[in-house]
Structure 1
């Protein structure tokens, strides 16, 4: 009799545990809010793991526990189908529905703007993203006087974004990441933000991506300015030359005749900084312009993917003989 009671008790205990477990799963997987809850935009960034997406969903108040999303993805075999992008989600969706929603077409478009593009190239990049309401000509008209202040970055934008909205987004991002983000470095520098952006646009085309190389090139170019010399930067000739009519490309090797140009951007003909930036530089180039390496070098040349520096013309000539002939 005693054994029978124990058996019955054990069976009842199992049923209680199963019921509690089923109730818990049901509670956890039901929506966190009723149907009246408002939707919100949720962004999955490129490179996000399933775990990090679950954490973001939980922090956004869209699911009851991060592990639930991982379980829903595993159970529905969606681990390779979650997309990067922007999605409209609501707290009245179940975790299963949310997981499925993140596999559907995103409402927004990723646009990558590399450092060192000029306004026309940025316009073309957005145009090629197939944004339905974006007009490249309108953007160029708005942005031409803001060359240098259109921040290069990876942007997630609505498919219906307009040219004025793109312009506002890029200039606002510059203000956030440079004007505000580098405020202390700007205040500590001997150069103004305007001077730094112009110099950075040259550095961006001349020095590659290594921050220390950028600072070294910046030191050379500031030395030339302080000595009253012309900068002699080929990238400014390329800026004057514009788009190659044959290939449609920008930044092609300049024609020798451009060195005789009367454009104020001709750094072979005129000393000092050009009147404005020649492209839109990134943070590393701007920081290099604000804080250059203190150097005695006045010359540099590119060869075999390297930059070789020299203090004087004799050293520069020797580098030419050694690396370019």
Structure 2
């Protein structure tokens, strides 16, 4: 009987050893199937880092990772940084990466409505590109599918075609690679559906992006984007000047700065972007539109409005000039 008990204990120990060994093997793996961007912020604790690794499906067991990190003496040595975690590495390689403090990329956000000057400045400030490299870049070097054919009168060929988004740009990226990343994201978001819709409207893709950029600069909120698009289309159809202040400012400054208030002399400024002096669309976009402004340009609201004025919270719309004057007197001081 004693022998049987000893055998049972030995088997139990063997099975438990086998189980724990398998658990060890399983938890020493990482489980993400593709590369993952992972950021440790200054002050992040081991628990916070572990939670993030688990949420991103990099590790399988939070308990194992914490215990193993402490066992290796690295629980206080994981450093802040922006890391690219390659798929297929083990926990030791992961810990080596996270304790190196050597960032692989920078996170850069391009807001909706930024013009090319603002984008170029942000990229230069982060050490990726000289401002003039972007301002002087040719769209033909990046638009391999020939989707966009700007008017030759544009100030900058890539204006409007760098997508507003958050980017994870490698530290090692050259200037042309950086531009490609931003342009390719734009081309990816400007889907085949959008291209087909532009044809239905009888417009070039570049004209759609120009309209979208005007909507981006004019709209105070998402709800009015398509309504503003409708005003633009109504005025184009009637051959009325668009009379959009943002185009006047862009024509005067070439996007280098903002003008908080326009005067009569500004509206007379000689520029192909001045939509008070010239009917039709300006020669190209004046900023980078977001997806909602592009959708509004493609699917405008149908109505009879020709005017709108800002109220402080949004715009109020009118069909006649008389109505518009009443609204101007009411809201503009």
Q: Could you say which TM-score interval applies, normalised by the shorter chain?
A: 0.7 to 0.9
Structure 2 residue 270 is matched with structure 1 residue 262 = yes
For the aligned residue pairs, the C-alpha RMSD in angstroms reads 3.1
Name the structure 2 match of 1:128.
125
Once the 2 structures are TM-superposed, how far is the Cα of residue 231 of structure 1 from its aligned partner?
0.5
Once the 2 structures are TM-superposed, how far is the Cα of residue 115 of structure 1 from its aligned partner?
1.4
- 1:16-27 to 2 correspondences below 5 Å: 16-27=14-25
Once the 2 structures are TM-superposed, how far is the Cα of residue 184 of structure 1 from its aligned partner?
4.1
SS in 2 for 1:225: helix
Aligned partners of 2:197 and 2:121: how far apart in 1? Answer: 33
Aligned partners of 1:74 and 1:182: how far apart in 2? Answer: 52
Aligned partners of 2:197 and 2:38: how far apart in 1? Answer: 30
Once the 2 structures are TM-superposed, how far is the Cα of residue 74 of structure 1 from its aligned partner?
6.6
Residue among 238, 247, 253 paired with 1:242? 253
- C-alpha distance after superposition, 1:122-156 (max 9, x if no partner): 1001111233xx22112211152121212222111
Aligned partners of 1:21 and 1:242: how far apart in 2? Answer: 70
Aligned partners of 2:320 and 2:287: how far apart in 1? Answer: 29
Once the 2 structures are TM-superposed, how far is the Cα of residue 85 of structure 1 from its aligned partner?
4.0
Once the 2 structures are TM-superposed, how far is the Cα of residue 110 of structure 1 from its aligned partner?
1.1
Q: CA contact under 8 A between 2:114 and 2:287: conserved in structure 1?
A: yes
Residue among 170, 182, 189 paired with 1:177? 189
Aligned partners of 1:227 and 1:90: how far apart in 2? Answer: 57
SS in 1 for 2:35: strand
Unaligned runs of 5+ in 1: 33-39, 58-65
Q: CA contact under 8 A between 2:82 and 2:106: conserved in structure 1?
A: yes
- 1:84-233 to 2 correspondences below 5 Å: 85-87=82-84, 89=86, 91=88, 93-99=89-95, 101-102=97-98, 104-131=101-128, 134-142=129-137, 144-180=156-192, 182-210=194-222, 212-233=223-244
Once the 2 structures are TM-superposed, how far is the Cα of residue 228 of structure 1 from its aligned partner?
1.1
SS in 1 for 2:137: helix
SS in 2 for 1:145: coil
Once the 2 structures are TM-superposed, how far is the Cα of residue 73 of structure 1 from its aligned partner?
4.7
1:23 to 1:175, Cα distance in 2 relative to 1, 3 A: same
Q: CA contact under 8 A between 1:215 and 1:291: conserved in structure 2?
A: yes
Structure 2 residue 53 is matched with structure 1 residue 50 = yes
1:46 to 1:235, Cα distance in 2 relative to 1, 3 A: farther
Unaligned runs of 5+ in 2: 41-50, 139-155
Q: Please, what TM-score do these two structures have when normalized by structure 2?
A: 0.78
SS in 1 for 2:217: helix
Aligned partners of 1:312 and 1:243: how far apart in 2? Answer: 32
Deviates more, 1:303-312 or 1:45-54: 45-54
Q: CA contact under 8 A between 2:36 and 2:86: conserved in structure 1?
A: no
Once the 2 structures are TM-superposed, how far is the Cα of residue 99 of structure 1 from its aligned partner?
4.3
Aligned partners of 1:145 and 1:118: how far apart in 2? Answer: 12
SS in 1 for 2:60: helix
Q: CA contact under 8 A between 2:54 and 2:61: conserved in structure 1?
A: no
Aligned partners of 1:295 and 1:152: how far apart in 2? Answer: 29
Q: CA contact under 8 A between 1:189 and 1:291: conserved in structure 2?
A: no
